[in-house]
Amino acid sequence: MGKNLLDLKSLEVSEIHSILEQAQAFHDGEVFHGLEGRVAANLFFEPSTRTQYSFNMAECKLGLRVISFNPAGSSLQKNESFYDTVKTFDSFGTDLLVIRHVENEYYNQLLGHVNAKILNGGDGTGNHPTQSLLDLLTIRQEFGRFEGLRVAIIGDVSHSRVAHTNFEVMQRLGMEVCTSGPEEYMEEGMHFKPFEEAVRQSDVVMLLRVQHERHAEHMHLTVEQYHDRYGMDRNKLAWLKEGAIIMHPAPFNRGVEIADDVVECDRSRIFKQMNNGVFVRMAAIKRALCD
């Protein structure tokens, strides 16, 4: 009974649609009582605001009890390993483990060793399934379809689990996806387009944070150069097609990849994405514990 959610690439398209249907139903007010009193542990070994606390919100809405984990106050400080930390929470009898960790596919070492269901809140530069699902829900609400839409993912693509997850799933759903940004952050095989062309042609312009904490070397551009060349500002908004929207997984760097006054402009769906995050996470939890 129930299913982990570790990545999206191993899910059938029909399964992705059914999670989105359930998320939309929760968005529209559906209430579910079947999980009241179950216990979730949110184990975020990397910093997180939106993913961590919208999982928390989703758990609250479904009536779960929630254990939040504070790495700085845990035995990680005594060199306890990731594996032993997760095993500890599992041995308490938790029903659900929501995990974020810096290592790509950290979950492989846990499979077969824990009883609780695992929901991946982000693994290294690899997968971020619930972020992609909330992006997809936002796009579906906006356009009513996926087929034929053009998406540009712009910025620090190579370090971004959001870019990697979306690039795969969006193409599978029939969207045309390109990437753009500084050469140092581009990846082979991810359909590079020059920035202006990418922005002008797309229905969805998805901006990414410059992830300084993941860089071995400093960015070659200054912040001002980045903003000038790849940042979305008022002037570049004029390049957008009619009906095109701006998205960003956040946290955003105001004045770097996005200008202050673009964050909440009429093209932006950034806070809508955050709202949808609660509903896709409710759907992922229900699937993990009930389906």
Which positions touch ligand NCD (CB under 6 A)? 50-51, 122, 128, 131, 161-162, 209, 211, 249-250
Cβ nearer to ligand NCD, comparing 95 with 269: 269
Cβ nearer to ligand NCD, comparing 35 with 129: 129
Least separation in angstroms between residue 213's CB and ligand NCD is 9
Cβ nearer to ligand NCD, comparing 162 with 237: 162
Least separation in angstroms between residue 6's CB and ligand NCD is 15
d(Cα 52, Cα 48) in Å, to the nearest integer? 6
Least separation in angstroms between residue 42's CB and ligand NCD is 13
> Is the previous residue joined to 71 through a cis bond, with omega within 30 degrees of 0?
no
Cβ nearer to ligand NCD, comparing 153 with 162: 162
d(Cα 112, Cα 141) in Å, to the nearest integer? 37
Chain position whose Cβ is nearest to ligand NCD: 209
Least separation in angstroms between residue 93's CB and ligand NCD is 28
Angle between helices 161-172 and 129-143 (to 10 degrees): 50
Cβ nearer to ligand NCD, comparing 4 with 51: 51
Cβ nearer to ligand NCD, comparing 53 with 192: 53
d(Cα 288, Cα 291) in Å, to the nearest integer? 7
Least separation in angstroms between residue 78's CB and ligand NCD is 27
Least separation in angstroms between residue 50's CB and ligand NCD is 4
**Cα three-residue angle 282-287-291, rounded to 5 degrees:** 145
Cβ nearer to ligand NCD, comparing 35 with 230: 230
Q: Which of 256, 246, 4 is nearest to 120 (CA)?
A: 4
Taking a C-beta distance cutoff of 8 angstroms, is the pair 16, 133 a contact?
yes
* Exposure of 97 in the CB half-sphere (CA atoms within 13 A): 27
> 3-class SS at 38?
coil
Q: Is 231 exposed, middle or buried (0-12, 13-18, 19+ CB in 10 A)?
A: buried
Q: Which of 183, 132, 175, 124 is nearest to 152 (CA)?
A: 175
Cβ nearer to ligand NCD, comparing 90 with 168: 168
Dump the DSSP string for 72-108: GGSGGGGT--HHHHHHHHHHTT-SEEEEEESSTTGGG
Least separation in angstroms between residue 37's CB and ligand NCD is 28
Q: Which residues of 42-72 are buried (b: 16+ CB within 10 A; e: fewer)?
A: bbbbbebebbbbbbbbbbebbebebeebeee
Least separation in angstroms between residue 155's CB and ligand NCD is 9
- CA dihedral sign of residues 149, 155, 161, 164: positive
